[in-house]
Every structure is written in structure tokens, then in C-alpha cells.
Structure 1
Amino acid sequence: MTYMKNVSGFIGAIAATVTLITTAPDAHAEALTLTDIAGRQVTLPEMPDKIVLGEGRMMYGIAPLVDGNPFEKIVGWKDDLVLYDPDAFRKFEAAFPEDAARMINFGNPYAGDFSIEAVLEAEADLVLLDVGNLFKAEETGLIEKLDKAGVSVVFIDFRRNSTENTVPSLLILGRLLGEEVNAMEFVDFYIGEMRRVSNVVDQIPAEERPLVVMENAPGWDPEFCCRSFGPYNYGRFVELAGGRNFGSTLSSAYSVTLSLEGIIEADPEHIIGTGANWAEAKPEVTATLLGYEADPVVNAEKIQALASRSGFADMRAVKEGNYHSIYHQFYNSPYHFIAVQQIAKWLYPDEFEDLDPQETFDRMHARFMPYENSGQFWLSASAPGN
């Protein structure tokens, strides 16, 4: 049957182009067919009820779509959520302690520690993978092995081409979880919040847009400078927020390596780094520890230290109070509209005077998430002398 729903906002404008939801299965049909983000047509013999997550952080996309328990159909994952965003893991753990405890760590799907035998023992009927690792999954024969074992594979993407693939990925998850209506509602929310920025930024001439250096996880390796993004992920977030991403001027690749000398010569108006609570998995990090349990006092010290690194202290962005840090994990979640809003507010404080990303994030949690918002997800270094 044709799946149709009258929804206010921007859903109507995209519904005709999102082919994966054009025809939804009848509630009593046995098979479920969809096209995943890799362009593969996948047919599941029935709705999946035991799902393995190729990355634990896929819970970012699942949680806002499910009424009740987002772990209901999840049997296990790779433990990246536990290791690299322990604040978020503990939010889930506090809300669903028994489910968090029963999660099987299947290991890295693209490495030797991933056990197909464990997947079969768990009687899983679906493995969700990240499309950025499609080549690895093909090269290792993972897709073929799982297929022969009768386990379907579906690719989604909240990271590589995140702004392009978030909507179809959410709709795919909605189909797989039987939460199509909730998925449509979150998509409508997502598009509406992105439009609050694009409706303003689209009016700003290209020559008036500030140059931004996006630093990927400064302090992850305290002795290294600097990782950045090309026109993908946070690089794309900067562009959508009305900035010129320095990394995009150097390469069209996903990841770009910058030299300190190159940053100094570029003289960006803003520098934005990413941070998260990596200290539990990697105690030597000097990054800002942003997330649900972040301590603003600790992070104020950490960002000042990052801004005071050799070569950075004399940059215009630092001197003018435009050295910023933002939650790294927005890069791998459908919540990246929060990052776009906050970056836009940094770049154009007058134009976005009435935009409050914190209020948006709180409202998102209240409406869609199984736990309350808390912590700190962005901050700026004080200009010298302030």
C-alpha cells in the first residue's frame, strides 16, 4: 500500500524524492524491501527483531525514533559508545540499566575481532553498518558471509555525507524499527531546525562569509597539529552555517591535514575545535571534555590551554575571542543541526541574535529523547585580557 501522512513543515517537499518510503509494506506482509544508503536493494523476510549495530553510536539515531525502549530490538553493538562517549552511554544506562547490561560487544565489523558466530548465536536477523565503511565490508567479505548465514545487512550514514544522508537514514531506521510515523516527525523537526539557519545564510553573499578553520579533535594527540575536514561532516556544517571552510579550499577529501604554518598564513576569523569525553578511554588527551557530564570549569581551563598553544596564541581568531570548541559527537549523529545552529551564531551573532541552540537541544530532548539534557556541548575561549 502507499504510505501517506499529512505532516506540516518540510516533509512534503522531500517525500517525492525519498524513494525508500514511497511504498511501505502492509502491516501483515512478511517481507520488507528497502534501498539502503549504499544503493543496495535489501529484502528482509520479515520485520527484524534482533539487530546488531556496527557502531554503538547508531543509538543516537535510534533513540529519538522509538516510543519507549530504544534497546528493544537491539542485541548488541561495537563498544565505541561506551569508549568514546561514556556520558551518553551512562544516560542510556541510567534509563535502561538491564538493556545496557545485556548488550553484546560484537567487536569491530571491519576487523578480525568481529565474530559472525556470535551474531548467529544471538539469532540476529540484521546488521546495521556505516556506509563510510562499505569498501572495508566488501573487501573483508563481511557482507557475503553474513548473507550466506542468512543475516541481512543495511547501510546507513550519519557521518560521511551526513547532511545529505541523515533524512534517508532516519527513514530507513523508521522502516526497520516499525516507527515510520516517529521517523517522519523527527525528520520534520530536523529540517525545520536546519531551515532556521539556511533561510538566513542563503541571503549572505559569498564574499562576506568568514574563513573558518575546523580542527578535528585538538588535544586527542597533544603533540599533533592539525586534523581537519574537507567539504564533509563538520566542514559541511561550517559551510551550511555561512562560513568558508579552510579545509575545503585545500582538498575535496573527507579528512584533511593542516599545517600550523598554513593556518597562520590563512589567518582565519574563527577557529573551531571538537571535543568529547575521551579522557576515560585515553587519559592523556588535552581536549575539551564536552558532553552530558561536562564540567564548565574544567572545560574553560582546557580551551584556554588549547588557544594558548604555540602558534595559536597570536592568531587573530584567538585575540578576538573567536576560538571555539563544540561537541565532537555531533559529527556522527542526526543532531548535527545543533552544531550548525551554534556555528552560525558564532559567525553571525547579530543575524542570529534570537536563535538559541541550547533551547533547541533542550526541546529536542524533551520531545524525542528518553532522558533529559544536561552538561555542556560548546564554549569559547576568552580573548586575552578578558
Structure 2
Amino acid sequence: MMLAKFLGAVIALSAVFGSPVLAAEVIDITGRKVEIDLPAKRVLVGEARQIHTIAALTGDHLLDRIVGWRDDFFTKDPDSYQAYAERFPALATLPRFGYVANSTFDLEAAIMLAPDVITLNIESQKVAVESGMEAKAAAAGIAIVYVDFRVDAAKNTENSIRILGQIFGADGRAEDLIAYRREQLARVTDRLAKVADIVRPKVFIERAPGNDAENGCCRSFGPYNFGEMVEQAGGHNIAADVIKTTFGDINLEQLIIEDPDLYIATGSNWAAESKTNRFVHVGRGADPAAAKAKLKTLMERTGFPELTAVKTGHVHAVWHQFYGVPYEFVAVQQFAKWFHPDLFADLDPEATFRDLHERFLPVPYKSGYFASLNEETN
């Protein structure tokens, strides 16, 4: 009798929502076991840049389950936001929220939207626990699930894709994306593995230079995130010799002593939040000439003109948002061409990114994600 009642409830829910809704246990990337009805009917996206992943999983049905999102798309990645807003005009009126990690997230307003689940990046966990947000959300019947595409991408990206696939009812699509990502990374790593005694150029990758008031130096990456991408592409990330966490700083004197063979700046369209506008604007549809001019200006900072990378013209920029999406393999492929141009002469990262859009994403591709001071090194 109990089983019959349960099945009757499932059938009734299916009639209302179009697909079976079943209680299930989701294990997030922190190892927490969370009970959620799957697929979720109402999702609040705790970082809007998760849209890059969710769109690949849901395609034309991107907004079917989303009831609100964080406001970071507008300040951190407005070029991508514009593309998605053109395709999905309802994004413009979607309720926006602040950032959990800096305590600007309005939980009471979120509860009013009655989401089934809030998807947060792992960086928000400490504040979510210490502020009582996790407990208050649970008391309101809202699950919190953590994902990670940024802090330790190698460890957590595939699980994070699967978790979002569960939440959005796109398990098969999640596996397709994971397989595609593995295949594209292997186009670099497998070829490098076949080369005995590969010579790894010294690389310095600077995090968001020109996006601070002082126009200083030198924020970078340890053995994770962009630092790991450098290693995957056959380079040596010199900052990892000093920085052991995901992000950190090295001083200018250390940079000069290390004297990298290549320099890479991460950039995006930060016009909405930057006080100086010295950053390199790369990303969807960015102007390559303008990006090149900004790169040139950055290389005029104290100490930089004497670096080998600058003298030889091996100065580049990469879209900053690759550091938090599951298609960072595009950046790895471009790095490989910069580091080992002969070995990867046949590799076309732009064709790869275009193919990803055509296979998975509901918005068209536009170039602009990379820039180089010297076209011959691009």
C-alpha cells in the first residue's frame, strides 16, 4: 500500500512537471550528502558564471529551472552576459544576489523565491557555515550544494559537472561534456608525453594585471588553476616555486631573477568595476588591437622591459574566465602552441572553441579570447 501511494505521487508529479521527480542523494565536492528531489524544479545559481557550465548541459532550456543568480556576470564577464541575454531575454529580469563569501548574499530574499537548491562555489563554504546560512537554508527546506571549477579544477571539475547534471536533469549531457573535455586535453598531454626530455619554457602568468588601483605586480597562481594549465601545456609555472596555494603573489625582484621566457596576462572586460581600466580586455568579441595596446602598456611597468619574455616578444593575454569553466582545455591548447609552436603547429584552439559552441552551447562563437604583442608568436 505504501509503495502504491509513493508511485502514485511520482506519477502525479510527473504529470505536473513533465518528468519524474525522485528524492535522491547528491554528494557535493566537499563530500556532503544532500537530499534533493531530482531534477530540481527551482535552482538559485550562487555564482552566475556557473552559467557557462549549466548552458552546456541544458542548451535551449537554460532558464527552465533557474529562479535567481548571483550578480557577478554583469561585472566579471559582461561580454558573455550580453551573448546570453540576447539569446535569453528573461535573464535581464532574473532576481540577482550578492556574494556569499563577502556576506552580501540576501538569504531572506532567496527564501522568498522558494528554491529547491542553491549552487555555491566552494569558496563560499566557510562563510556559509560560520554565518549560519547552511543551517537557515536547511530549515527553510533549501539544499545547498557546493561545486568547484576554480580552486582545484583537476580534482573537482568532472564531479562538479556531474553534480550540475544531476540537479538539472542532464546526466547524459554531463557525461558527454566530460568526455569531450578529456579528449581535448589529451590532444596536448598525450603528445607531450611522447616527447622525451621535453624542454619546458619558464612561464609567468599574471592574474588580472591592470585591474587594481595601484597597477602593481605580481599576482599569480600556484600549482592550481591557470598555474596547472601552464604545466599541462608543457611549460613551467615559475610562480608555483613560491606560491603553494591556488592564488598568491610573488614580488617584482623574484620575477626579474626568474626571468621568464614567456609572459601571459589574464584579462576580461572589467570596465564595470575597474578604477583604472588598465586591464587587457580579451573575451567574446574583444578588439585584438585594443588588447595588444593594453599589453604593450603593461610591459612598460618597472622591471618588465628587461625581461626575456618582453625582449623576445613572447607576451600574451588569455581570457581570465577560463579559470572557472570546464572548457579550460581551450586555454591549454593555446598555451601549448605558444610554448611549443613546432610540436603543436597543427593545433587550432579557436576551431576547438568554435566546435564546443556548436556542440554544446546555445550562443554563437565569437573570437577575441587571446592576444599577443608579436603576431609571429601567436
TM-score (ref. length: structure 2): 0.91
Q: What does residue range 196-215 of structure 1 map to in structure 2 within 5 Å? A: 196-204=187-195, 208-215=199-206
Q: Tell me, what secondary structure is at the counterpart of 1:313?
A: helix
Q: CA deviation at 1:214?
A: 1.2
Contact 1:78–1:107, Cα closer than 8 Å, also in 2: yes
Q: Does residue 43 of the first structure (1) align with residue 35 of the second (2)?
A: yes
Kindly tell me: are residues 188 and 383 of structure 1, through their superposed partners in 2, closer, same or farther at Cα, counting changes over 3 Å? closer
Q: Does residue 348 of the first structure (1) align with residue 348 of the second (2)?
A: no
Corresponding position of 1:145? 136
Q: Tell me, what secondary structure is at the counterpart of 1:129?
A: strand
CA distance in 1, matches of 2:292, 2:21: 55
Q: CA deviation at 1:347?
A: 0.3
Corresponding position of 2:92? 101
Contact 2:161–2:178, Cα closer than 8 Å, also in 1: yes
Choose which of 351, 366, 371 in structure 2 pairs with 1:359: 351
Q: Tell me, what secondary structure is at the counterpart of 2:68?
A: strand
CA distance in 1, matches of 2:215, 2:318: 20
Corresponding position of 2:16? none
Q: CA deviation at 1:207?
A: 6.8
Q: What does residue range 27-106 of structure 1 map to in structure 2 within 5 Å? A: 28=20, 30-97=22-89, 99-106=90-97
Give the AA of the match of 1:78: R
Higher helix share: 2
Give the AA of the match of 2:320: H
CA distance in 2, matches of 1:357, 1:112: 38
1:107-162: CA deviations, max 9, x gaps?
Answer: 12234432222112111110001113322222222111111111001111111111
Q: Percent identity?
A: 36
Give the AA of the match of 1:141: G
CA distance in 2, matches of 1:255, 1:110: 16
Choose which of 273, 282, 294 in structure 2 pairs with 1:290: 282
1:277-300: CA deviations, max 9, x gaps?
Answer: 001332522111111131112112
Give the AA of the match of 1:102: T
Contact 2:38–2:167, Cα closer than 8 Å, also in 1: no
Q: What does residue range 223-234 of structure 1 map to in structure 2 within 5 Å? A: 223-234=215-226
Q: Tell me, what secondary structure is at the counterpart of 1:52?
A: strand
Q: Which stretch of structure 1 is more off in the superposition, 116-125 or 133-142?
A: 133-142
Q: CA deviation at 1:230?
A: 0.5
Corresponding position of 1:379? 371
Contact 2:59–2:361, Cα closer than 8 Å, also in 1: no
Q: Does residue 118 of the first structure (1) align with residue 109 of the second (2)?
A: yes
Q: Tell me, what secondary structure is at the counterpart of 1:31?
A: strand
CA distance in 1, matches of 2:38, 2:172: 19
Corresponding position of 1:252? 244
Q: CA deviation at 1:383?
A: 8.8
Q: CA deviation at 1:254?
A: 1.4
Q: CA deviation at 1:205?
A: 5.2
Structure 2: any 5+ residue segments left out of the alignment?
1-18
Contact 1:77–1:105, Cα closer than 8 Å, also in 2: yes
Q: Tell me, what secondary structure is at the counterpart of 2:60?
A: coil
Aligned residues: 357
CA distance in 2, matches of 1:211, 1:330: 21
1:250-297: CA deviations, max 9, x gaps?
Answer: 131111211111111101111111000001332522111111131112
Contact 2:120–2:146, Cα closer than 8 Å, also in 1: yes
Superposition misfits of 4+ residues, deviation over 4 angstroms: 204-207
Q: CA deviation at 1:186?
A: 1.1
Q: Does residue 219 of the first structure (1) align with residue 210 of the second (2)?
A: yes
Over aligned residue pairs, what C-alpha RMSD do you find?
1.7
Q: Does residue 313 of the first structure (1) align with residue 300 of the second (2)?
A: no
Contact 1:295–1:375, Cα closer than 8 Å, also in 2: no
CA distance in 2, matches of 1:110, 1:306: 30
1:316-373: CA deviations, max 9, x gaps?
Answer: 1111111111000000111111111111110000010110000000111111111111
Contact 1:216–1:228, Cα closer than 8 Å, also in 2: yes
CA distance in 1, matches of 2:145, 2:240: 30
Give the AA of the match of 2:301: R
1:45-99: CA deviations, max 9, x gaps?
Answer: 45311111111101011011113221221111111111111000000100010x2
Contact 1:233–1:331, Cα closer than 8 Å, also in 2: yes
Q: Tell me, what secondary structure is at the counterpart of 1:297?
A: helix
Q: Tell me, what secondary structure is at the counterpart of 2:220?
A: strand
Corresponding position of 1:3? none
Contact 2:38–2:169, Cα closer than 8 Å, also in 1: no
Q: Does residue 135 of the first structure (1) align with residue 126 of the second (2)?
A: yes
CA distance in 1, matches of 2:215, 2:81: 29
Q: Tell me, what secondary structure is at the counterpart of 2:285?
A: coil
Q: What does residue range 331-346 of structure 1 map to in structure 2 within 5 Å? A: 331-346=323-338
CA distance in 2, matches of 1:57, 1:121: 23
Corresponding position of 2:180? 189
Q: Tell me, what secondary structure is at the counterpart of 2:100?
A: coil
CA distance in 2, matches of 1:283, 1:151: 38
Contact 1:214–1:271, Cα closer than 8 Å, also in 2: yes
Corresponding position of 2:8? none
